[in-house]
């Protein structure tokens, strides 16, 4: 047995290697559309050599074989062949050396290494033992890059591991295969490709085409009539996805604009979800120059070829291009098609019912994609079916509706402002747009965590007369940090529609919709300001528009979005965070402060929820009688209540002994003193256990001092003293931890 | 932090009083709601579309 064959890459040698597998007719191979496409694709990838593994067991074909082909009298067996492609020179001698273990560490003079082989590996094609439909599982490296998404360009890929005679290789691709017209029709291979593309599906667990067809047909066990199968209806496609335990988002595209479809494709592809596109294919007869002269007003004749299904796996909408990438089983992987409007199309301009429609134009290239010929076929889509996770209950439409509602309301005011003489360098510039994708909450949090704040305290938007319209100060920074922590730590559904709003080319804020919610729910689960200076201005514009019944609709969550904005402002906890700082756990605890029950051991504690009919000087007379050696400690609790106790040093009973070891907000010390003969309470925020890391502690202290003064009937002043220490602390220890 | 009064003042300079803005916003939302409702209804998979087959 020949273990493998190596050949240089040409269309004829490619066909010849395929013929080596099962001896099928050379012309059937050489002239096959898929082979022409694969040859062109690989040539563009830079393929120069290929290797045939003559005997390869393909799990999926084995299943198809056992379901149907095994009882075919003239079958060619269950073993497949597999051809691997390389963009480097390989030969028997160098590969044998590698397999024999005598290869050198680095590539020199034709000695292969595994790394070198991987670097030049372009993927593989499985050759099935079927005379006319032999193109099996095919994974080929992408041409160019996979893009970055967000409405620019993206192609979905997945890592496929390949074992070539014990050499571990891998390839980033999505599997392709042609329909065999027996156990699989075009819709079957389209579903099969879509299942391969789903990011959470293990490629070893993807069902074979025969199983997909059986699922779609609602197949009766033991029936002899399921195969050959020539077609699936759209309902059967949905049923097959149902059996796979998937939720599908189906959309009838009859009245949808091309722009809407582009948004839809962008969102799902950015979410790493493939779209199964079903529709009618029309072939166009391109006239010769002579025919064109004679033709009726330049109209090209066209012919309906039939219903077809393809899988959309990528898009390129950069620089006004309208390209999408599909796996079409009649061609090959990542076939480039263009979205074209039919109203102006030479073939359809006189067909009234198609004037508002658009389609996918198929074109050929003979020079590796540098120039493209006129389209020879148009696929006019009827519907798209997107397989997603079970929990993704809200389809794209609701995220799109919400994004549109927010964009429309912002855009009107921002255009008015942009037209005014506001300091233009600081106002959000350009058109308001959005990007939508379905993400897991962990991915959303990853994005939030990776986001670096580009604003610094002091930045502002100025009106032309110098007045400040929007400013980013310490308080804004503190609030932004709290919002960010809330997004990162609050419990949220695993799947979220992530809508990024953009002004010009700058991301301003992000809205999260709970994808597991119901259409009539309050699906907005969070808002994150990427640019807090601009976001706050836009939010303020939206707040000033009354939130009435019109915002409550069945098709979007604009009302829920406004409620969340409002909630951010009126939420009591938010108020406490704003007024007294976010909660902090005690930095550390002294042994002397902890009781077995977890309660604080400071017996002098007073815990106040409301003002009392007493003076602080009467509650703690010892502090007044010995102001040099004694002082109080205080803290604002989780619920905004006030803790006050005497600061006891032997044994050490600091702030946690007063709060019962619980989390609290701003905290500090308080001491009685006299200034110019007038008694006075001084209050600081010098608690090393609680107040250690606030950005705006003086603001919180001033709010706390107001609260303390309002709780007691002392007719003397309470004065905020920043981080100054009481006399006792100044004498005994400059760095004592309170 | 946004100076709401200044924001109103600036928008008023552009000829957009609070009442005008609110009324325009209501109109926009009403129109959008109608559009989206029609869109959602037309995107429903009909029996005819579900019965279409892919056979190429």
C-alpha dihedral, B20 to B26 to B29 to B35, nearest 10°: -100
Please state the pTM of the whole predicted model: 0.83
pLDDT-based confidence at residue A567 (cuts at 50, 70, 90): confident
Which pLDDT value is given to residue A552?
63
A434 and A369 in a single domain? The answer is no
pLDDT in tens, A266-293: 999 999 999 999 999 999 987 776 666 6
Cα atoms in the Cβ-side hemisphere of radius 13 Å centred on A519: 12
Q: Has residue A586 been placed in a domain?
A: no
Q: Mean pLDDT across the stretch A554-564? A: 90
Q: Has residue A582 been placed in a domain?
A: no
A283 and A320 in a single domain? The answer is yes
Interchain contact, B1 vs A476, CB within 8 Å: yes
pLDDT-based confidence at residue A737 (cuts at 50, 70, 90): very low
Residue A317 CA from chain centroid, whole number: 18
pLDDT exceeding 70 applies to what percent of chain A? 93
Of A185, A330, A555, the CB nearest to B36: A555
With tokens 């995220």, the residue in question is: A399
pLDDT in tens, A200-238: 999 999 999 999 999 999 767 667 778 888 899 999 999
A152 and A27 in a single domain? The answer is yes
Interchain contact, B1 vs A555, CB within 8 Å: no
Closest CA relative to residue A94, chosen from A51, A35, A143, A45: A51
Of A69-73, A188-192, A373-377, A419-423, least confident by mean pLDDT is A419-423
Residue of A nearest to B25 (CA): A409
Which of A366, A390, A414 is the last residue before a domain boundary? A390
Q: Is the pLDDT of residue A23 over 90?
A: yes
A152 and A216 in a single domain? The answer is no
A412 and A468 in a single domain? The answer is yes
pLDDT in tens, A485-503: 989 999 999 999 999 999 9
Of B2, B16, B49, the CB nearest to A234: B49
Write out the two tokens for A510. 């992000």
Give me the phi and psi of A471, to 5 degrees please.
Answer: -135, 150
Please report, in angstroms and rounded to a whole number, the separation of the first and last CA atoms in chain B.
Answer: 60
- Give the number of A-B residue pairs with CB atoms closer than 8 Å: 161
pLDDT-based confidence at residue A596 (cuts at 50, 70, 90): confident
Q: Mean pLDDT across the stretch A719-737? A: 72
> Is the Cα torsion angle A30, A33, A36, A38 positive or negative in sign?
negative
Would you list which residues of chain B are within 8 Å, Cβ to Cβ, of chain A? 1-4, 6-8, 10-11, 13-14, 16, 18, 21-22, 24-26, 28-30, 32-33, 36-37, 39-40, 42-46, 49-56
Write out the two tokens for A170. 């891998």
Which pLDDT value is given to residue A106?
58
A621 and A501 in a single domain? The answer is no
Which pLDDT value is given to residue A734?
44
Q: Which residues of A touch B39 (CB under 8 A)?
A: 255-256, 260, 397, 555
pLDDT in tens, A459-488: 988 887 778 888 888 778 888 988 899 899
Residue of B nearest to A260 (CA): B39
Q: Has residue B56 been placed in a domain?
A: no
Contact predicate A545/B22, CB 8 Å: yes
Q: Which residue has the higher pLDDT, A523 or A102?
A: A523
Q: Which range of residues forms the domain containing residue B8?
A: 4-51
pLDDT-based confidence at residue A423 (cuts at 50, 70, 90): low
Contact predicate A471/A507, CB 8 Å: no
Residue of A nearest to B32 (CA): A405
pLDDT in tens, A247-265: 999 999 999 999 999 999 9
Which pLDDT value is given to residue A466?
79
CA distance A363 to A338: 8
A601 and A462 in a single domain? The answer is no
Q: Has residue A695 been placed in a domain?
A: yes
The angle at the Cα of A216, spanning A211 to A217, to the nearest 5 degrees, equals: 100
Q: Is the pLDDT of residue A56 over 60?
A: yes
A375 and A456 in a single domain? The answer is no
Of A305, A469, A554, the CB nearest to B37: A554
3-state helix, strand, coil in chain B (%, to 5): 70, 5, 25
pLDDT in tens, A498-519: 999 999 889 999 999 999 998 8
CA distance B43 to A375: 28
pLDDT in tens, B4-42: 888 888 888 877 788 888 888 889 999 999 999 999 999
Mutate to test the interface with B, among A216, A235, A459, A520 (most CBs of B within 10 A): A235
Of A98-107, A352-361, A449-458, least confident by mean pLDDT is A98-107
- Give the minimum alpha-carbon distance from B30 to chain A in angstroms, rounded to a whole number: 6
Residue of A nearest to B46 (CA): A252
pLDDT-based confidence at residue A1 (cuts at 50, 70, 90): low
Strands A678-683 and A717-720: parallel
pLDDT exceeding 90 applies to what percent of chain A? 65
A29 and A111 in a single domain? The answer is yes
CA distance A474 to A711: 28
Q: Has residue B13 been placed in a domain?
A: yes
Which pLDDT value is given to residue A499?
98
Interchain contact, A546 vs B8, CB within 8 Å: no
Task: Lay out the sheet containing A678-683: strands in order across.
Answer: A606-608, A642-646, A632-637, A664-675, A678-683, A717-720
Q: How many structural domains are present in chain A?
A: 4
Q: Has residue A585 been placed in a domain?
A: no
Interchain contact, B1 vs A405, CB within 8 Å: no
A211 and A346 in a single domain? The answer is yes
Q: What is the mean pLDDT of chain A?
A: 90
Q: Has residue A522 been placed in a domain?
A: yes
Predicted-complex ipTM score: 0.96
Q: Mean pLDDT across the stretch A373-381? A: 94
Contacts of A401 (CB under 8 A, 6+ apart): A553, A555, A556, A557, B32, B36
Of A66-80, A252-266, A427-441, A578-592, least confident by mean pLDDT is A578-592
Q: Mean pLDDT across the stretch A659-686? A: 91
Taking each helix axis as running N to C, give the angle between helix B18-42 and helix B4-13, from 0 to 180 degrees, rounded to the nearest 10: 90
Q: How many structural domains are present in chain B?
A: 1
Which of A359, A390, A421 is the last residue before a domain boundary? A390
A226 and A250 in a single domain? The answer is yes
Which pLDDT value is given to residue A223?
75
Which of A390, A414, A440 is the last residue before a domain boundary? A390
Closest CA relative to residue A515, chosen from A539, A499, A535: A499
CA distance A514 to A496: 5
pLDDT-based confidence at residue A153 (cuts at 50, 70, 90): very high
A62 and A167 in a single domain? The answer is yes
Q: Has residue A737 been placed in a domain?
A: no
Q: Which range of residues forms the domain containing residue A407?
A: 396-570
């Amino acid at each position: 047995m020949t273990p493998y064959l190596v050949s240089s890459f040409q269309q004829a040698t490619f066909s010849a290697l395929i013929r080596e597998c099962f001896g099928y007719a050379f012309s059937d191979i050489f002239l096959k559309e898929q082979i022409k496409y694969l040859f062109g694709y690989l040539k563009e990838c830079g393929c120069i050599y290929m290797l045939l593994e003559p005997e390869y067991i393909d799990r999926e074909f084995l299943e198809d074989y056992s379901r149907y082909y095994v009882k075919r009298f003239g079958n060619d067996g269950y073993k497949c062949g597999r051809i691997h492609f390389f963009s480097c020179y390989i030969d028997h001698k160098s590969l044998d050396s590698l397999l024999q273990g005598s290869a050198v560490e680095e590539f020199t003079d034709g000695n292969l290494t595994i790394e070198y082989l991987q670097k030049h590996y372009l993927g593989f094609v499985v050759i099935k033992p079927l005379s006319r439909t032999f193109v099996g599982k095919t994974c080929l490296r992408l041409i160019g890059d996979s893009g970055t998404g967000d409405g620019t360009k993206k192609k979905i890929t997945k890592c496929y591991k390949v074992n070539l005679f014990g050499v571990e290789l891998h390839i980033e691709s999505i599997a392709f295969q042609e329909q065999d017209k027996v156990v699989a029709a075009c819709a079957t291979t389209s579903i099969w490709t879509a299942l391969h593309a789903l990011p959470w599906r293990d490629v070893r667990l993807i069902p074979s085409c025969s199983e997909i067809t059986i699922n779609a047909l609602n197949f009766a066990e033991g029936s002899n009539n399921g195969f050959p199968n020539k077609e699936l209806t759209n309902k059967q496609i949905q049923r097959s996805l149902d059996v796979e335990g998937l939720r599908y988002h189906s959309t009838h595209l009859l009245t949808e604009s091309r722009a809407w479809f582009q948004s839809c494709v962008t969102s799902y592809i950015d979410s790493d979800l493939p779209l199964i596109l079903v529709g009618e294919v029309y072939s166009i007869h391109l006239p010769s120059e002579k025919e064109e002269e004679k033709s009726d007003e330049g109209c090209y004749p066209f012919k309906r070829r039939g219903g077809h299904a393809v899988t959309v796996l990528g898009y390129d909408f950069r620089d006004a291009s309208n390209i999408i990438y599909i796996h079409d089983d009649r061609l090959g992987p990542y076939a480039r098609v263009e979205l074209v409007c039919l109203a102006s199309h030479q073939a359809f301009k006189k067909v009234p019912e198609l004037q508002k429609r658009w389609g996918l134009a198929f074109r050929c290239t003979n020079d590796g994609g540098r120039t493209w010929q006129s389209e020879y076929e148009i696929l006019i889509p009827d519907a798209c079916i997107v397989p997603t996770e079970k929990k993704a209950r809200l389809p794209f439409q609701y995220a799109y509706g919400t994004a549109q509602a927010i964009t429309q309301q912002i855009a009107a005011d921002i255009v008015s402002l942009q037209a005014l003489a506001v300091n233009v360098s600081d106002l959000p510039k350009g058109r308001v747009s959005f990007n939508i994708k379905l993400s897991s909450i962990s991915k959303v949090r990853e994005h939030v965590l990776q986001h670096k704040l580009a604003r610094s305290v002091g930045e502002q938007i100025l009106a032309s007369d110098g007045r400040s319209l929007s400013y980013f100060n310490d308080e804004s920074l503190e609030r932004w940090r709290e919002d960010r922590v809330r997004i990162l730590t609050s419990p949220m559904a695993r799947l979220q529609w992530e809508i990024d709003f953009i002004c010009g080319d700058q991301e301003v804020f992000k809205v999260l919709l709970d994808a597991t919610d119901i259409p009539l729910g309050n699906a907005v689960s969070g808002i994150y300001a990427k640019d807090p200076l601009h976001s706050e201005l836009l939010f303020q514009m939206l707040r000033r528009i009354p939130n009435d019944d019109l915002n409550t609709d069945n098709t979007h969550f604009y009302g829920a979005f406004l409620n969340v904005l409002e909630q951010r402002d009126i939420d009591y906890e938010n108020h406490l965070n704003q007024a007294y700082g976010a909660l902090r756990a005690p930095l550390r605890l002294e042994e002397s402060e902890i009781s077995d029950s977890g309660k604080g051991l400071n017996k002098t504690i007073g815990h106040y929820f409301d003002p009392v009919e007493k003076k602080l000087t009467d509650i703690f007379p010892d502090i007044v009688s010995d102001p040099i050696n004694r002082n109080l400690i205080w803290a604002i609790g989780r619920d905004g209540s006030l803790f006050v106790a005497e600061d006891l040093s032997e044994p050490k009973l600091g702030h946690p002994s007063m709060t019962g070891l619980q989390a609290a907000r701003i905290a500090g010390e308080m001491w009685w003193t006299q200034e110019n003969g007038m008694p006075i309470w001084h209050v600081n925020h010098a608690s090393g256990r609680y107040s250690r890391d606030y950005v705006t502690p003086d603001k919180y202290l001033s709010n706390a001092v107001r609260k303390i003064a309002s709780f007691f009937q002392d007719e003397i002043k309470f004065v905020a003293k920043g981080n100054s220490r009481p006399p006792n602390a100044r004498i005994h220890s400059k760095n004592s931890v309170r | 932090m946004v100076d709401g009064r200044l924001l109103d003042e600036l928008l008023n300079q552009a000829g957009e009083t609070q009442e005008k803005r609110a009324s325009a916003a209501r109109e926009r939302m009403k129109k959008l709601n109608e559009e989206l409702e029609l869109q959602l209804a037309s995107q429903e998979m009909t029996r005819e579309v579900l019965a279409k087959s892919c056979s190429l």
